[in-house]
Amino acid sequence: MLDQGIVDELKAKHGAGLELFETEIGDIVLKPPKEAEYRRFLDRITEGDENTSGAVIDFVEPHVVHPEISKFREMRKDKPAIVAGLSNKLRRMAGSTLVGEGKKL
């Protein structure tokens, strides 16, 4: 768990909406994506970008506010799939969570 002083500093610098993810390789704090950032990500992965993994990394990295990006990249070397999981978390933070099941009309 992050020290409260670090949490306060991150909130002051990045504003509301930050989320902490405690992983086996360390704590990661994400800031939510803005609409334009999310649209760019969707455009890249749906328009036949042959480097989908690069699109995911490029989507995740700017939203990592803790740890420092160099440390995050080192963490990613040990657990490369972490970016896929964080991408899913960012999509949820952008509002992709639906409640309940759809109903046939």
User: What's the predicted TM-score (pTM) here?
Assistant: 0.85
28 in any annotated domain: yes
Q: Are 61 and 25 spatial neighbours (Cβ–Cβ below 8 Å)? A: no
State pLDDT tens for residues 66-81: 999 999 999 999 999 9
105 in any annotated domain: no
48 in any annotated domain: yes
Helix axes 82-91, 52-60, angle to 10 degrees: 60
* Domain encompassing residue 59: 4-94
77 in any annotated domain: yes
**Domain count within the chain:** 1
Angstrom distance (rounded) from CA 33 to CA 100 = 24
H-helix or E-strand containing 26?
strand 26-30
State pLDDT tens for residues 2-38: 899 999 999 999 998 999 999 988 999 999 999 999 9
Phi, psi at residue 49, to the nearest 5°?
-60, 120
- CATH code assigned at 48: 3.30.2220.10
Q: Are 60 and 87 spatial neighbours (Cβ–Cβ below 8 Å)? A: yes
66 in any annotated domain: yes
